[in-house]
Chains A and B, each alone.
Chain A
């Protein structure tokens, strides 16, 4: 009789074990580790100096070749040399070895180099731990949804590499499936921790100088062309969500930095306007009618300005209204920040203004722009009223041949003169600058205001999206008894810029700034898609990326936690993660015994026998049972012997599929046998 147990006597490979000897790294595990190195360093290539990317790629390719040809790894002195070369290069490139970018560059370099000296399993572990760390550094550059998904995939790859490192050779599919399964089980923990881990507002210590490099936004000065590059960018500056009805588009002036000093080229803020003590406090008088309540989600721009509709009457905590009605936060905005504002759209700003401020608002650099001064002097002599002078200037823009274009000709020494009388081509910064120069020359206090104008409502989530391409510059003049009054000279030339946006204002043939809205038919579909995508992105920003201590408290108290302090959060976190662990444990450890089809069929046959009073004992083999049946119920003898024979052949011999059918047929006959008897 054949051996009823499928046992395999295997003498396994025995490896010597001692406390000092390390577990060797398997040859088959190396491609996994190289994959980890590539996947974690590749996205950094975009931000690294080209030579470092090339160097790292060469190292990894070389390691791959060494693996393929099964060659020896380079000697230690050569590796030491490579370390020195790479580190020196990075130090030379960044002028330091510390700081964020240099640190990331060093990590990438070591990640590319480490595979060159992988001998033991421990070295493989180092590569994977380094990989986890490099994953985190990806977030310095992007925290978008695709980045999140990519990182989930790479985390799975790292897990798979760990499995390969510790579990020996297995089919790739199985490793990956197991890794994905582990990651999937880890997700509930991530959600619980993310929601409940008591958040701390960073930074914990001073950040390196380069921590916020590459953030775009309005500048603290306006020189020719400075807004131009901003307008070309489709990046989102901020999003606004209105609690009150959305104001008319022509009233959406988002006030940013204000400039009252001109040197003939560049507009800047005077030290005076930056001093709160030397000035009258900013006072806004308003009636109760046109009030807007809204929340802004500002993208980081590394400056202190917060964007508010003109003019804010209620400010978020931690910010203040400065003498020129700028809202400044205490710290530069380095993270996506949410804050709530209330603005009065009809207002009187500083009916009383300090004489020094007014004087500053009249100053012009001597010797520049004589023709503009002459024109303004003419108006001043003929027209008495400042409002009429302003109207004359706007009329001049409208009636002379001025063009709105983002590609103005270059201007020389007397920029305003050349613009007003010769080129007559420009966009908001030219118009506002020229207008303010004219007003000052005519003796009317005036200044340039920069910020954003308009925005675009996303129909999917109702948020108003304001992009860098909505950057705008306008002017304001101070009138006795009326305070500071906004004048937008661009509106005189291209009213559609204010009413419909920059895409409509530009003449046909002018290249459009990237991502500026277009009303072509087939692009509408695309636009709808973009709206949806941006709504998803916005939700991501609001709920995932904007989940800070403040938002955490909001969310938790809305979820019913009474006093969301760190104590209650920590205990809730402990409870919920404990529950997750319990569930995962039960799920994982649940015994799923495999019952083969022939066993199932045999058990069914035995259950059928039970109806005849014959119960199979746990130790009873098929043939023993059949003999007992033959003794107790001779009428069933043949059936039981057949069934036992089929089962034994299927289970222990070389059973054919038809025997499974035959076994099932025996069960059926057993059932009908009873029916005949009854």
Chain B
């Protein structure tokens, strides 16, 4: 650990916040003038020199008023962050290379609106939002993923320049957030017939299975199957319904670690497997996954797909 890191740890209290909600107190908010603030200071100095040189008494008064305005702006910028409460939300799994969106619930307990809040993970894209007085807003903050696995995006930078842009107040809350990142799928043709095929006849017309009914939607199920028409019929009371399909490919496809070219490194092989899973799920096939240390029995559906991808993501 270098000196800068140690200083940062001491000064900015880096480290995960375990007590929830994370409340932004005086100790956690930092404030410094922005470039515009420095320019403002220079302009005031020049104006003061002019006022002295031309003996403009009202010029003195104007400069002093503006200096006071700068100080007041500092307090108000600080106030814009003070007392915000942060609760971590969930983040949907993504493939490596995509942006993961972490949900954060930000609550403003005071009656004053908080404006022009900016949230970002490090150098990732910034999300700006405002929270009316006494309300809670949920915000999704992007984080560009690179590697598969369980992702801790680290501390959030919550900052604001409101009201005058002369100061920037910021805080580094680090709520416990995590997101599952699947391997980046490399889509190659599905492996052809192998001994793991259990052929029970002709391949069904995948994608043209019979509609068999509706059932309540489970969390994690793909929104693609929601029966929007049915839902719209009675939006007040019905839970979300999904269409269920029967039949389908009778054959079972085994996606096996050993089928991937052994000349590649682990990550590429995982990516190839992920690509097969994506294709198989798209074609609504029944498939199973076989990894060196575990295997998942053939099945279909969104839950199964996610379970397979998760196994790949967490592959040691």
Q: Which residues, 63 to 83 on B, are CB-close (under 8 Å) to A?
A: 63-69, 71-73, 75-76, 78-79, 82-83
A10 to B119, CA, bound (A): 14
The number of chain B residues touching the other chain, given as a range, is 35 or more
How far does the alpha carbon of A207 sit from the alpha carbon of B52 in the complex, in Å?
A: 12
As a 0/1 sequence over residues 547 to 575 of chain A, the CB contacts with chain B under 8 angstroms (1 = contact) are 11000000000000000000000000000
Q: Would you give the shortest CB distance from B31 to chain A, in whole angstroms?
A: 12
B126 contacts the other chain (CB 8 A): yes
Given known A10-B137, A166-B161, contact A581–B71 (CB-CB < 8 A): yes
Residues in A whose Cβ lies below 8 Å from that of B109: 593
Report whether A211 and B47 are in contact in the complex, using a CB–CB cutoff of 8 Å: no
Q: Is B138 at the interface (CB under 8 A from chain A)? A: yes
Say yes or no: A15 contacts B163, CB within 8 Å. no
> In the complex, A358→B65 CA distance in Å?
58
**Residues A202 and B47 in contact, CB atoms below 8 Å apart:** no
**Chain B residues with Cβ under 8 A from A168's Cβ?**
115-116, 130
Quick check: B137 and A8 within 8 Å, CB to CB? Answer: yes
Q: Which residue of chain A has its CB nearest to the CB of B135?
A: A6
CB-based contact B135/A136 at 8 Å:
no
Chain-A contact segment, one of B38-46, B204-212, B285-293, B306-314? B38-46
Q: Name B75's contact: one of A5, A162, A581 (CB within 8 Å).
A: A581
Interface: A135 (CB within 8 A): yes
Interface string of B133-148 (1 = CB under 8 A from A): 1111111101000000
Known A-B contacts A9-B138, A182-B73, A589-B75; A167 and B162 likewise in contact (beta carbons under 8 Å): yes
Q: Is B230 an interface residue (CB 8 A)?
A: no
B186-218 contact mask (Cβ, 8 Å, vs A): 1 or 0: 000000000000000000000000000000000
A540 to chain B, nearest CB (A): 10
From residue 160 to 188 of chain B, which have CB atoms closer than 8 A to chain A? 161-166
B125 CB within 8 Å of chain A: yes
A335 CB within 8 Å of chain B: yes
Residue of A132, A166, A188, A588 near B162 (CB, 8 A) is A166
A368 nearest CB across to chain B (Å): 45
Q: Of the candidates A135, A580, A588, which one forms a contact with B79 in the assembled complex, judged by CB atoms under 8 Å apart?
A: A588
Q: Which of A7, A15, A167 lies in contact with B115, CB distance below 8 A?
A: A167
Is B2 interfacial (CB-CB < 8 Å)? no
Is B4 part of the contact surface with A, judged by Cβ < 8 Å? no
Residues of B contacting A68 with CB < 8 Å? Answer: none
In the bound complex, how far is the Cα of B85 from the Cα of A593, in angstroms? 14
CB distance from B16 to the nearest CB of A (A): 24
Number of residues on chain A facing chain B (CB within 8 A): 77
CA distance A100 to B54 in the complex (A): 10
Cβ of A76 within 8 Å of any chain B Cβ, yes or no, is: no
The answer to whether B165 touches A585, judged by C-beta atoms less than 8 angstroms apart, is: no
Question: Among A147-155, A375-383, A644-652, which stretch is in contact with chain B?
Answer: A147-155
Q: How far is the CA of A420 from the CA of B63 in the complex (A)?
A: 59
A 481-516 binary contact with B (CB < 8 Å = 1; else 0): 000000000000000000000000000000000000
A55 contacts partner chain B, Cβ-Cβ < 8 Å: no
Find out whether the CB atom of B125 lies under 8 angstroms from the CB atom of A148. no
Residues of the B chain whose Cβ atoms lie less than 8 Å from the Cβ of A166: 116, 161-165
- A185 at interface, CB cutoff 8 A: yes
User: Does B105 touch A at the CB level, under 8 Å?
Assistant: yes
Smallest Cβ distance from B45 to chain A, in angstroms?
12
* Highest count of chain A CB atoms <10 Å: which of B47, B59, B130: B59
Q: How far is the CB of A538 from chain B (nearest CB, A)?
A: 14
- Chain B residues within an 8 Å CB radius of A335: 55
- CA A143 to CA B51, docked complex, whole Å: 12
In the complex, whether A287 has a CB less than 8 A from a CB of chain B is: no
Q: Are B64 and A14 in contact (CB under 8 A)?
A: no
Q: CB within 8 A of A182: which of B44, B69, B137, B165? A: B69
Across the interface, which residues of B come within 8 angstroms of A294, CB to CB?
Answer: none
Number of interchain pairs (Cβ within 8 Å): 203
Query: Which chain A residue has the least Cβ–Cβ distance from B138?
Result: A9
Using CB atoms, name the residue of chain A closest to B160.
A166
A189 near B54 with CB under 8 A, answer no
- The answer, yes or no, to whether A11 is at the interface (CB within 8 Å) is yes
Over the window 263-294 of chain B, the binary record of Cβ atoms lying under 8 Å from chain A Cβ atoms (1 yes, 0 no) is 00000000000000000000000000000000
Question: Whose C-beta in chain B lies nearest to the C-beta of A164?
Answer: B163
Contact B79 A589 (CB under 8 A): yes
Select B163's contact among A6, A16, A100, A162, beta carbons within 8 Å. Answer: A162
Please tell me if B222 contacts chain A, counting CB pairs below 8 Å: no
Residues of B within 8 A of A194 (CB): 60-61, 64
Contact pick for B164, options A5, A8, A162, CB 8 Å: A162
A186–B111 contact, CB under 8 A?
no
CB distance from A557 to the nearest CB of B (A): 20
- With a cutoff of 8 Å between Cβ atoms, the chain A residues found around residue B123 in the complex are 17
- With A17-B126, A182-B76: A8-B68 Cβ-Cβ less than 8 Å: no
Q: With a CB–CB cut-off of 8 A, which chain B residues contact A148?
A: 58, 61
Instruction: Tell me the bound Cα distance from A189 to B43 in angstroms.
Output: 18
Using CB atoms, name the residue of chain B closest to A130: B43
Task: Decide: B138 and A10 in contact? CB cutoff 8 A.
Answer: yes
Interface string of A117-149 (1 = CB under 8 A from B): 000011001000100110110011001000110
Would A203 and B135 count as touching, CB distance under 8 A?
Answer: no
Decide yes or no whether B49 CB sits under 8 A from chain A: yes
Identify the interface centre among B63, B126, B162, B165: most chain A CB within 10 Å of its CB. Answer: B165
Kindly provide the distance from the CB of A25 to the nearest chain B CB, expressed in whole angstroms. Answer: 13
Is A200 within 8 A of B163, CB to CB? no
Q: Are A183 and B69 touching (Cβ within 8 A)?
A: yes
Chain A residue at minimal CB-CB distance from B99: A14
For residue A140, give the distance in angstroms from its CB to the closest CB of chain B.
7
Contact of A545 with B by CB under 8 A: yes
Residues of the A chain whose Cβ atoms lie less than 8 Å from the Cβ of B56:
136, 139-140, 143
* Contacting residues, chain B, for A178 (C-beta < 8 A): 163
Answer yes or no: B129 CB below 8 A from chain A CBs: yes
Say yes or no: B69 contacts A13, CB within 8 Å: no
Chain A residue with Cβ nearest B166: A162
Contact with B along A222-233 (1 / 0, CB 8 A): 000000000000
| B300 proximal to A (CB < 8 A) | no
Structural contact, B79 and A147, CB atoms closer than 8 A: no
B61 & A133 in contact (Cβ 8 Å cutoff): no
Chain B contacts of A187 at CB under 8 A?
Answer: 65, 68
**In the bound complex, what is the Cα–Cα distance between A182 and B116 (angstroms)?**
17
**Chain A residues whose CB sits within 8 angstroms of the CB of B140 once the complex forms:** 11-12
Interface assignment of B110: CB less than 8 Å from any CB of chain A: yes
In the assembled complex, A163 has its CB within 8 A of some CB on chain B: yes
For B117, the closest partner residue in chain A by CB is A12
User: 0/1 per residue, A524-554, Cβ < 8 Å to B?
Assistant: 0000000000000000000011111000000
Q: Which residues of B contact A11 (CB under 8 A)?
A: 139-140
- Say if the beta carbon of B127 comes within 8 Å of chain A: yes
A544 and B58: CB pair below 8 A?
yes
* Chain A nearest Cβ from B82, distance in angstroms: 6
Of A17, A147, A548, A585, the residue contacting B55 (CB under 8 A) is A548
Is A205's beta carbon under 8 Å from chain B? yes
Chain B residues within an 8 Å CB radius of A677: none
B134/A190 in contact, CB under 8 A: no
**Which of the residues B64, B75, B136, B138 comes within 8 Å of A193, measured between beta carbons?**
B64
Measured between beta carbons, the chain A residues less than 8 angstroms from B73 are 182
Nearest neighbor of B83 in chain A, beta-carbon distance: A591
Asked whether A201 is an interface residue with its Cβ less than 8 Å from the other chain, the reply is yes
Q: How far is the CB of A17 from chain B (nearest CB, A)?
A: 4
A190 surroundings in chain B (CB, below 8 A): 61, 64-65, 67-68
A335's nearest neighbour on chain B, judged by CB, is B55
**A58 in the interface (beta carbon within 8 A):** no
B110–A593 CB distance below 8 A? yes
Task: List 6 tightest A-B contacts by C-beta distance, closest first.
Answer: A189-B68, A186-B68, A193-B64, A594-B111, A186-B69, A166-B165
Q: List 13 A-B contacts (CB under 8 A).
A: A6-B135, A8-B137, A8-B138, A12-B129, A125-B36, A147-B58, A163-B163, A182-B73, A189-B64, A207-B53, A584-B71, A589-B82, A591-B110
Interface residues of B, Cβ cutoff 8 Å to A: 36, 39-40, 43-44, 46-47, 49-69, 71-73, 75-76, 78-79, 82-83, 105, 109-112, 115-116, 120, 123, 125-130, 133-140, 142, 161-166
